[in-house]
Amino acid sequence: MAKEQLQVLNALDVAKTQLYHFTAIVVAGMGFFTDAYDLFAISLVTKLLGRIYYTDTTKPNPGTLPPHVASSVTGVALVGTLTGQLFFGWLGDKLGRKKVYGLTLVLMIVCSLASGLSFGDSPQGVMATLCFFRFWLGFGIGGDYPLSATIMSEYANKRTRGAFIAAVFAMQGFGILTSGIVALIVSSAFDHAYSAPTYEKLAAASTVPQADYIWRIILMFGALPAALTFYWRMKMPETARYTALVAKNATQAAKDMAKVLNVEIDAEEGKLERISRKPTNQYGLFSTEFLHRHGLHLLGTTTTWFLLDIAFYSNNLFQKDIFSAIGWIPHAKEMNAVHEVYRIARAQTLIALCSTVPGYWVTVALIDRIGRFAIQLIGFFFMTVFMFALAIPYDHWTHRQNRLGFVAMYSLTFFFANFGPNATTFVVPAEIFPARLRSTCHGISAAAGKAGAIVGAFGFLYAAQPKDPSKRDVGYPAGIGVKYSLIVLGCVNALGFLFTFLVPEPKGKSLEEMSGENDDSADGDATEMSPPPNRTVPVSV
């Protein structure tokens, strides 16, 4: 098949790894650091919010957020993220990656600060303003997904593109880890400065007034890393692929990349005009041609991300409930409010340090060697295995002498989520769609993931409630319990394994080769891009 490639794009594909690659990783990655910090920090303080605003000292247990408030506080940022992914994904293809990139960062900075300044003269007022600011925080975070992935994929060379995109996403692990560390430091400082008895000893004094500052400080800290990278984010030039293939300005694309790569690059306006007239560069998102070429691929990226996030966000947002259920964290009445934050943060930090962060970086190391497809299958397979291994003998794990075993196996589900579909579902949509639709399709795929996160966040909140009323959080109906919730999550992971077979393998190919943008044939590479039927996949690591 006859193929044409602009010199500026070929120069990017074959470029050696240079300083600008690492600069792009850090600048884009700090956005993801902030995303993860902001999304997961809320799980560290929901118990504290319940104690501060909903405690009735005549009751035997500390206050908890009512079901509708807990689901709103936890899930509203995810709803905002979903909306932002769709909106900014579309806007990134219309206005350009760089123009929209700064706007998302400003939203994240302002709303992180505003979340910690939530105000009101009643618990309902504070929770309402918190939810309002967290929705818009999520809206900004949502834009960061398609834009960061698209920018990194369009800057990278084809040999190490997977590792570069995965490295941006791997900063999410450091964000989760940092949220735990910040909560540890803040809660430890307040616990030493303001000693308080446990709730069962003296309920009225177990939550010191100064505890209200703790959750605010933890949430507001998320503005700092985003603010530190704003200048460098605005200094990044527009990607050459957007400038050439979407804005149709080959001269500007060559000029921008000549500075970045330190080489002479011809503008090739005539070649760009020929490429732009090809049928492969004419069809839109809502066309039969897109459906023919990329319909199954979009179905694959959306379903796998949706299924992955049901399990991933259920596990992350409700670690505290699972650890409380098995007794790794004491019952709330056996602690004061500040110490409870400390214990929850310690558990989350250990999980992040021992499994979440390593999983991300193993993916970075191997993704361009064994491929996205293999890593995603491996991840879904072992997530399924470990979920069932936790769920089926669940009663065994609740015994005190077996709790460390439970924590170890639970940690492995996080490892294989991150050395697996949590990374690859982010990487692949940035590689397989045409430049003019790349940000939009990544936004659609990511939004499907956040729909799964919403299902996980709201569903697990209710499903994990035990049938025994004495063990259930106040105001919640009976659920199926942690054991059967874990079985459901195991089945969800198994479905993700099956839908992975709809996703093509982009390893070692240029973005234009994957999308068919530089192909002269009428049918392009649609059949070439489909997953080969007899692909061999490793089943162990």
Structure tokens at 274: 């020929």
Q: In this structure, is residue 539 part of a structural domain?
A: no
Q: How far apart are CA 360 and CA 11, in angstroms?
A: 29
| 21-53: pLDDT as tens digits | 888 898 888 888 988 898 889 989 999 999 999
Q: In this structure, is residue 113 part of a structural domain?
A: yes
3 SS3 class: strand
Q: What burial letters (b/e) apply to 152-173, b meaning 16+ CB within 10 Å?
A: bbbbbbbebbbbbbbbbbbbbb
Q: How high is the pLDDT of residue 537?
A: 38
Q: Out of 154-168, 402-416, 519-533, pick the least confident.
A: 519-533
Other beta carbons less than 10 A from residue 401's beta carbon: 6
Spatial CB neighbours of 471, under 8 Å, sequence gap ≥ 6: none
Q: How high is the pLDDT of residue 317?
A: 57
Structure tokens at 194: 């303001």
Q: In this structure, is residue 217 part of a structural domain?
A: yes
Chain Cα centroid distance, residue 120? 31
Q: In this structure, is residue 533 part of a structural domain?
A: no
Comparing 454 with 467, which gets the higher pLDDT?
A: 454
Q: In this structure, is residue 523 part of a structural domain?
A: no
Amino acid letter for position 519: D
Number of domains in the chain: 1
Q: Nearest-CA neighbor of 151 among 106, 89, 70?
A: 89
Contact between residue 147 and residue 90 where contact means Cβ atoms under 8 Å apart: no
Q: How high is the pLDDT of residue 325?
A: 63
Q: In this structure, is residue 538 part of a structural domain?
A: no
Q: Out of 76-85, 89-98, 258-267, pick the least confident.
A: 258-267
**Residues spanned by the domain of 307:** 8-276+288-513
Q: How high is the pLDDT of residue 322?
A: 64
- CATH number of the domain that 403 lies in? 1.20.1250.20
Q: Nearest-CA neighbor of 358 among 284, 443, 415, 413?
A: 415
pLDDT at 535 over 50: no
Q: In this structure, is residue 373 part of a structural domain?
A: yes
| 374-394: pLDDT as tens digits | 999 999 999 999 999 988 888
Q: In this structure, is residue 497 part of a structural domain?
A: yes
Q: How high is the pLDDT of residue 20?
A: 82
